[in-house]
Structure 1
Amino acid sequence: MILNSSELLFILATAAACTTAVMLVALLVLRWGRRRSIAFQFTVVVIAAIVSIAVTTVVATAQMYLSAHDLQVVLWVVGISTVMSLLAALVSGRAVRRAFAKLRESVAQVGAGDVVAPNSDTWKEVAEVSVQLSEASERLAAARDEIARLDASRRQFFAWISHDLRTPLTGISALAEALDAGVVEDPSDYLRQIRAQVGTMNRLVDDLFELSLIQSGTLKLRPENVELLDIVSDAVADVSQLAAARGIQISHAGVEGRILWADPHELTRVVVNLLTNSIRYAPANSQILVSADQRDESSLVLSVLDQGSGVASEDLSHMFEIGWRATEARTPEQESSGSAGAGLGLAIVRGIVEAHGGGVNAEQLPEGFRLNVALPTVAA
């Protein structure tokens, strides 16, 4: 039998009225329990939907003037379905609560510094959050390890810097006391030694200042077209006394006619630091070769090759880090430059070269140990 318009309107009105009444009650319960768990709110919504369907069915059936037998059948069917649906809603609510409880435990573990495993045996959305939380815990653990490593490196670095500053200060103090006591035969020699120690401190302070500019990103480059030969010649002149003291000869090959797009002052510092490093670690009375090779149309590689033993292969990637010091195989001989072990020179080289858009690396060769820097030949 097809429903007429009045019957259809009656059913629609009954359903709307019953559903509205149940949902208003559900909204009041949700408002009252707005600070309760998601599982509680989820259960309330599901129960409200089930009850609204059951009430609407019972009311509409009671108004349809069915026989008592048919009405009892409908009531039993609706009642059993409602009870079973409510049980299912409660079970689902408990499952939601367990899933979020595990998620909360994982968050607590991450907060405690642990790495958590993803929980895939749950709803898709919760599983996705669990996977992201697991990945985040791994990244946080790696970041904590890196911070610990950097912190240990920082403490060691400051210990080295303190030692490197204390050494010339102690020397200056001892020399000044001797001069003050009037027990020296040649005061001019003591004054010369004091000036040398002051120069050592000045170089160390300059290196620290340069490094702070590089790390803070405030190093200002003034690039221009420069002759590489002029840069190398100036750098060789700067380190000539240090090289002569150890009987080391410096030669160059392939640098003539090379034009670079670089800051001449900073580039000279790069070459001086490279040469100083090689002079300190190369054998006495050996040779150092400065060479240049065109890498491509826009850059070349400047190399400094010494005849020293170099460093272990696993240390090659660490040579340009701040505060890195050589192993026993590459320990400098005693010389008067003072801050040989500060671990700043090659870190400054890397910072300046990278600021120019280039790169650095070190390599072991049959003929010795070579430091390479890639530099631009044209403006970027």
Structure 2
Amino acid sequence: MAAVPGDASLTHTPRTPGSAVFEWDTANEYGTGSPERDALYGCAPGAVATRAAVLAVVHPDDRALVRGFFAELDAARHGDILQCEYRAAAPQGGVRWLRNVCRVEVSAGRRHISGVLSDVTEGKRGDAVLALSERRYRLLAEYIGTVLWQATPDGFITHALGWTTLTGQQEGEYQGHGWIEAVHPDDRPVVAAAWRRSCAAGQPVDVEYRARSVATGEWVWLRARTVPVHDDQGRLIEWSGICENIDQRRRDAAALAAAKDRAEQQDRAKSKFLAAASHDLRQPIQSLYLLAAALEPHVRPEGAAARERLCHGLDVLSRVLNGMLDLSRLDLDLVVPRPRDFPIGELLEDVAAGYAQPAQAKGLALRVVACAPAMVRTDPDMLRRLLANLVENAVRYSERGEVTLGCAQAGGAVVVSVRDQGIGIPPGQLDLIWEEFRQLANPARERRVGMGLGLSIVRRLSALLDCPVGVDSTPGQGTAFTVTVPLAAAAAPPAVVPALPERPVQPPAAVRRARPPAILVVDDDPLVRESFELMVESWGSDWLVQVAGSVAEAMALRCPDAVVMDYRLGEETGDAAMARLRAHWRAPGLPGVLLTGDTDAGVAARARASAMRLLHKPVDTRRLRDVLAAMLAEA
């Protein structure tokens, strides 16, 4: 109930749908009104003529309210206008909300009341919906820790639903610019400046800051975002925004970043350990290879078989070590592809050249069938390792015939194939060949034929490169592996790809020179230097060898015909050392071989950038001699 200012006679108020006028004489407790009034009460005309009749149709829960309204009317002064809202029975059942607005007139001791009765049911329903909506927003804001707020066009905060729950500031404290007092002192200048700029420009604001939590007493991180609200004419009428609690999110992000840093540190530690282990384990094996080669001209015939067994044992040890270190790097996710565009034919020639000597020793023909010049895009070093494993398997498990390495374009890709005429694989066992330490042709696990890691490495490299590997085999006739490599983006596949003739791959022929080539070996390991010196001397008078333990020692010597450089030279890498030597001798095209026990693709990239041939330890001495001979022939 409330008093309403005004002095116009309500009996002359125009009738509108859902409203009616009435008059009331308090002296005889009798009221008259239009038929619409009785209809609003859900009664027949004239049925609501007394206050008792009115109370009879009022909702029981509101009767006390209406009695109080009647008492106020009886006590009101002349000219007072009062109103009351209550529920009454509806004609079709249920209830309807009515608003009763009355004007009191007092004359000659008599009290006369005139008024308007209106149906406000729809308005009440709208108010209920709004109240429910506000309650929902309040509960939602409190549940998710979000503040909903409004401000005047000049930035004066008028309402902030949830701010009191979050910070403890009451409405009178946070209104206007008082909310800034709850912000962390270090963040206040930034937040205040951002809010001023936003208000001046009429642009949204998005800022993060800390505020004191009343629940914990600690500073929590909040994110405030606001947007300007304009009317139909584009005038700024208010600001609306939210302020969400992002403290846990920031804590989670910080924890995630710390965990990421720890994981990266662990990865670096693992990578460093594997690199050191790879170098330290391969270095003595490399020395043994060199010493075994140096012994060859000095071994009596009766000791030749023992030396051959020694060399074979070193081969097995080398393959096992390489396989296990490669698998470790792949399993620890330390191998990251570095794709680039390159000609596939050159890579096939390089892979085949590496196995020409073993194939020839077994009486196998190793042939390359390169497709027409095609550029592919992938990591060349990882693809080389993958194909080398396939070719090595083909040579190892073939006792006759030939091994063919070729490729053919198919749509937007190049399909590289490695085919042999070996023992083949039974159809039911094709899925087993990819398992670690699985050797179908070696059930007794004789180490002379390896450890069964090559195809496991192939599968992992294939997945990393996204170059699918397929296999087709017929027992007794041979096996064909295929690797699908994407073409480079600029390489449009021709309609017809001409086939190139097969070309047998032979070990490089000896180079005829006017004088023996001088080879400089730079390695900081004295045992390796001595072993290299003995090995090259065992090659005969066609070769000269010099050794140096550092770049400084090498600079004191004459410029050689080729350099064999260890990758790890104390604090300096072999490619950097080679650059210094070339500059010192003014020989930019000086051939160089980079020896490393590290299989990281970054080392291969350094070797390419420095125009050096990369060989991984332990390298077979015949392989090293073939590479040096080929480089000297090209030079």
Name the structure, 1 or 2, with higher relative contact order (CA <8 Å, separation 6+).
1
Q: Decide which structure has greater helix share.
A: 1
The structure number with the bigger radius of gyration is 2
Q: TM-score, normalised by structure 2?
A: 0.29
Q: Decide which structure has greater strand share.
A: 2
Q: TM-score, normalised by structure 1?
A: 0.46
